[in-house]
Amino acid sequence: MMHEDCPFCNPPDSNVWHRNDKGIVLWDGFPVAEGHSLIVPKTHVASLFDLAPEDQQSLWQMVSEVREILTQKLSPDGFNVGLNDGVAAGQTIMHAHIHVVPRWAGDVADPRGGVRWVLPDKACYWGEK
């Protein structure tokens, strides 16, 4: 079911750069890095975990495809891949989506901890602050 007011249910064609029968890939509207992409299910659900297992599997396969395409196109040194599941986790658009963010050596001073920095006081587990 599509929702008229959802930006992921009716994105402009110019923002969709890959697709399969279960999902689409969009350029992030507020990218944190070149190539920052969103894998979005065609079914409007708030949480990825509200999808049938085979639909989830199809979207994770898209993550692999997107990673490969971005690797060939941009030659990043790494990736952050993740999702914000629920308001408490930072989700602002209540249509499930997976972020794929290319990363380059030196793009931040110290990338250790990666996604752990969503809780800055707990991110630095190796003792340096």
Tokens 């402009």 map to which residue?
A: 12
Tokens 């979207």 map to which residue?
A: 59
Residues designated as active site: 97
Give the CA distances from residue 49 to residues 85, 95, 108, in Å, rounded to whole numbers and listed in that order: 9, 11, 31
**Alpha-carbon distance 95 to 84, whole Å?**
10
